[in-house]
Structure 1
Amino acid sequence: MAKLAETLDDMPGMDDLLSRSGLEFMQDMIAGRLPGPPIGAALGFAPISVEEGRVVFEGAPQFTVTNPMSAVHGGWYGAILDSCMGCAVMTTVPRGSVYTTLEYKVNITRAIPLGTRVRAIGTVDHAGRSTGVASGEIRGIGDDRLYATSSTTCLIMKMA
């Protein structure tokens, strides 16, 4: 992702969103033709690849996302997994439509050591007219260890 939005005015508008398919929108964001959201910079992750039905994010949790027990907060796992799964669903959304997450579930299988580079992979299991279902996982880049699994259901809404 080449550039990130720095203000709400920098964020892509509805015209940017609705004039593209979800896949085109994601491709343009990763290529830097559209600014990306700042959440990834704040939490230390970013999308690195996109294809229809599959999106990959990479990142590393830093000290700023620790909980009172000095471990990576579960919300970090949730944020990167919600991002990769939701964006995977986005790649199946037709031009003129948008999606939103209805629910997601995360199963943390082991703690991610601070600074460990991980890959979060979101894969679409079902893409219908009104719902999308996806699964996700976090794996270590260096060791391929499984750190978490997840699932989501998203609502797909026709806007135009």
Structure 2
Amino acid sequence: MTETQTGDVSAVRERSYAWADPTPTLQALPGTAGVDVLKRMLAGELPPPPIMATLGVEAGSFEVGSASFTMQPEEFHYNPLGTVHGGVIAMLLDSAAGCAVHSTLSAGEGYTSVDLTTKYLRPVTAASGRVTATGTVLSRGSRTALAQAQLTDDAGRLLAHATSTCLIFPIG
């Protein structure tokens, strides 16, 4: 690309971040109930997953059957259209729905997402302000769970919605 085609291509921005080794959290999983693992991360007793530092996501709250995360949309989240990339929004919704399911796990249980159906309702940009993804468990069986998540802005407007099926299995 030349400057005449795209403008000033030298306007490069940089971002650096750090994350903690996730091993202590992984080691706690087999012997700790899901909600307790999540609450220990929130309290700083266990490190959060590295993806949170990568994308600038903050944990909000964890209770049995629900989970929330917040994020300030930034330019580094943008797609070529100048809005937050759908994959970033899907990650927030998947995290909220998945951690809502995680909060229902007994010690020795794990889960994985089977599917995630996402609906994007409004564009999200840095001007949107802080967004919150809130997940809740709709149904929890012995092998599967169904959860939903909603992404809202500070004005309470619904930005995106998702449903997720999770497979539950023994670990450890």
Give me the TM-score of the superposition, normalised by structure 1: 0.90
Q: How does 1:101-116 map to 2 (within 5 A)?
A: 101-115=113-127, 116=129
SS in 2 for 1:92: coil
Q: Which amino acid aligns with 2:120?
A: I
RMSD: 1.5
Give the Cα separation in 2 of the matches to 1:129 and 1:47. 27
Tell me the CA shift for residue 128 of structure 1: 1.1
Given that residues 25 and 46 in structure 2 are in contact (C-alpha distance below 8 angstroms), is that contact kept between their aligned partners in structure 1?
no
> Runs ≥4 in structure 1, deviation > 2 angstroms?
4-7, 10-15
Q: Which amino acid aligns with 2:29?
A: L
Could you tell me which runs of 5 or more consecutive residues in structure 2 were left unpaired when the two chains were aligned.
1-17
SS in 1 for 2:98: helix
Determine the structure 2 residue equivalent to 1:150: 162
Given that residues 20 and 48 in structure 2 are in contact (C-alpha distance below 8 angstroms), is that contact kept between their aligned partners in structure 1?
no
Give the Cα separation in 1 of the matches to 2:94 and 2:55. 13
Match status 1:44 vs 2:91: no
Give the Cα separation in 1 of the matches to 2:150 and 2:71. 13
Match status 1:73 vs 2:78: no
Please list the CA deviations of residues 87-113 of structure 1 after superposition, one character each: whole Å capped at 9, or x if unmatched: 000001111111111110110100112
SS in 2 for 1:12: helix
Q: How does 1:85-96 map to 2 (within 5 A)?
A: 85-96=97-108
Determine the structure 2 residue equivalent to 1:6: 20
State the aligned residue count. 154
Query: Percent of pairs identical after alignment?
Result: 34
Match status 1:33 vs 2:33: no
Please list the CA deviations of residues 91-150 of structure 1 after superposition, one character each: whole Å capped at 9, or x if unmatched: 011111111111101101001121520110000001111111100000112x11110010
Given that residues 58 and 71 in structure 2 are in contact (C-alpha distance below 8 angstroms), is that contact kept between their aligned partners in structure 1?
yes
Given that residues 74 and 125 in structure 2 are in contact (C-alpha distance below 8 angstroms), is that contact kept between their aligned partners in structure 1?
no
Given that residues 72 and 112 in structure 1 are in contact (C-alpha distance below 8 angstroms), is that contact kept between their aligned partners in structure 2?
yes
Give the Cα separation in 2 of the matches to 1:46 and 1:127. 26
SS in 1 for 2:126: coil
Could you tell me which runs of 5 or more consecutive residues in structure 1 were left unpaired when the two chains were aligned.
none
Structure of greater Rg? 2
Q: How does 1:46-65 map to 2 (within 5 A)?
A: 46-65=58-77
2:136 corresponds to which of 123, 137, 141: 123
Match status 1:138 vs 2:165: no
Tell me the CA shift for residue 25 of structure 1: 0.8
Given that residues 5 and 11 in structure 1 are in contact (C-alpha distance below 8 angstroms), is that contact kept between their aligned partners in structure 2?
no
Tell me the CA shift for residue 12 of structure 1: 2.7
Give me the TM-score of the superposition, normalised by structure 2: 0.84
